[in-house]
Structure formats: C-alpha cells, structure tokens
Amino acid sequence: MSLKNKKILYEILKDFEDFAKMRGINYPPIYFLGGSGAILGNYLDRATLDIDFLDMDYSSKIGKLFKLFDEYDMLDLYLTTISLSFRTRAEKLKGFSNIFVLSREDLIVSKIGRYSKKDIEDIALLIVDSDRQLINALINEVNERRNISSIVLEEFRKKVIQFKDDFNV
C-alpha cells in the first residue's frame, strides 16, 4: 500500500513539474515535511497521501500550481517548530528542479511540535538513522527563535521534555 502511495506522490509531483514547465513558471523551492516528506525522502515506508510543505511566501502565480496537489497543508513558519537553517540540510528530490525534502532530524523536530501518537510512531522509526546531537542542536535553534508563536514555542518546550525522556536524547 505505501509503495503505491509513494508512486502516487511522485506522479502528482511530476504533473506539478510538467505543468510548471508548460506554463513557463519557474517555481521557487518547495520544502516537503510530514508524512509525505518522510515517504519522498525514503525515510519511512507507510501509507499517506497527505501533502505537507512549508509556506515560503509564494506568489499567487505559484498558487495555481498548488491546485494540482488537490488537498495540501502549507505550514506557516511562524507556527511550525523547525530550525530556520533547514535549507542547509534539505535534500533535492531526484528528477525535480526545485523540490526538496527536509532531513530526518528536521522532520523529527517538526513532529515534536505536535507529538501526536502517529508523530511518536514516526519519530521512533526516523530516529534510528538520525544524528541525536543534531536533533538536540535543532531543538536549541527552535528554542532560540524569535519569529515563532509564543504559544507554539511554549507547547514545544513542554513536549521536548517528554520527547527526550521517551527517546533518551
């Protein structure tokens, strides 16, 4: 089932890329995270077609392209627990001109922000091949952010305590 979903995600992105080329739209980088990011990055093998990516203040012209995703979540950086240095670790998705997947460590830190049962399950799988020192550094970077909701940051800090206890980080 999940392999099928990965194929579907790639087909959606291929349609996106083809449409952009046909319309002559040079789209800016798109950074995927969440379940779709984990699947596209070959970090997890599970079933999801949820498309989550970071809102990089895209122009309305690019919005036309996003309609091809059907349903998607464009996550506002102000409300997302992520280190703002994520671009340096993001991997370009092979075969696409400007589509990126966040690193395992960035995905883990973003999942701490919500820390639902599904997020905890994903983290348990992602952390196996992750750099725990980097995760701690990214947590510190999120804690130092000034351009994040104070409510989101307060909740993140509470969940970090549980995360560190659960995963010995």
Tens of pLDDT, residue by residue over 49-69, are 678 899 998 888 788 788 888
For the four alpha carbons of 31, 111, 139 and 169, in that order, the dihedral sign comes to negative
**Is residue 70 scored above 80 in pLDDT?**
no
Contact between residue 52 and residue 73 where contact means Cβ atoms under 8 Å apart:
yes
**Cut 0.85: pTM above it:** yes
Q: Which domains does the chain have, with CATH numbers?
A: 2-167 (3.30.460)
pLDDT above 70 (res 2): no
The residue that leads in pLDDT, 59 or 131, is 131
**Higher-scoring residue by pLDDT: 136, 74:** 136
Q: How far is CA 155 from the centre of its chain?
A: 19
* Whole-angstrom distance, CA of residue 163 vs CA of residue 115: 8
